[in-house]
Structure 1
Amino acid sequence: MQRHFIYDYVLIDLPPSFNNLVTAALYSSNYLIIPCTSDTFCSYCVGLIGETLPRFINEWQLGCQRYNTYNPHDERYNDLGKPVFIGWIFNGYDTRKPKNEQNKQTIAADKKMESKISESVKKLLESLGKITVYTAVPKKYESVNFRLGGIEDMNVLIQNSMWQNCPIAKLSEFRPVRDLQNRASWSPQQTDLIKELTNAFESIAYKIIDYCK
């Protein structure tokens, strides 16, 4: 892939663990984005990242120092092991449209969980701010608590997207999979949701591009 295409950004989706694959990805990545779902485990994991990432960075720096001692002319690894946290994304939450209201709102339970995750992110920022070997938190975006945006629950749309190998933004150009919802066309509500999700994805993408400049 790398030989035939030029990429501005490559997103690596990783499981919520700290195995060797995740560790290697952290060491080799320039930036870190945390997707957050509406559950207590996610809030716990954000806090765990704050505890674990500084230790990983310290271990990497010690390893680099030992390597550079015996390989003083090899500078390939000097810029690795410095992932910068640029934000978190709240996804999978439910919305409702209140009576006599035009705009949808996040349901109370998910809104409360979002607030809890936001508090965990604040503690994460404090922990990452203590890293001294590089700037792990870009200060100019601190005021927005690094929330890149939100992606609400896509319900059957995400299954259609995977089955048809089609991005959500292009889904309206395809017919629904009958085995998933037993209908030959998208409902007006689904068409509206596709548009809303497309706008949400684009907003997040532009923020990521801006933050990574």
Structure 2
Amino acid sequence: MLLPVVPSSPLPVASDFSTLSWQDLRTAVQACTRCAISKTRTQTVFGTGNQQAAWMVIGEAPGAEEDRQGEPFVGKAGQLLNNMLLAIGMPRETVYIANVLKCRPPNNRDPQVDEAANCRGYLERQIALVNPTLILVVGRIAAQNLLQTTAPLARLRGQEHRAPVSGTPVVVTYHPAYLLRQPSDKRKAWQDLLFAREVFARHAQSPH
């Protein structure tokens, strides 16, 4: 008789982490071995910035430099993100920055479905702890994972979305690494940032 296969590491749900403090959440991420990329990482990349920020920026996953330094959005893409935020009056130190994945996928490949699912509870708890007025999501993969959609980036831009669990307003734009490869789209990204600022101003009128 065939016995049912029991997963060795079941996918987490948000409630697994719903009572964790910042420090306990960071410790859980550092110790995480829920999927195979935990074996190839140099270190986890938890997140950085103001833990009471009104803006939260969410990207896809750590790259090689982030894996080495343990901080999201460093290097050229990070510098461009800093400049983008500064252009709308939001210096990097005033926002909180995190990724969908806390470990670097090998060779910077796209995250797999199970990997994003394994990390989802961590990100949802970060959003709950920050309790931002606005989430700015950069890149197609991060947007699709956060919003649980397969819609292309072009359809996600220019709209106000809501994060599924928290209900936080979400605005989508291009990933800085993409803009470094396709600088002609920086004008569209600027339009997204202006739209994000408008959405933020509208919601900031209510208590944060």
Q: TM-score range by the shorter chain?
A: 0.3 to 0.5
The higher radius of gyration belongs to 1
Q: TM-score, length-normalised on structure 1? A: 0.33
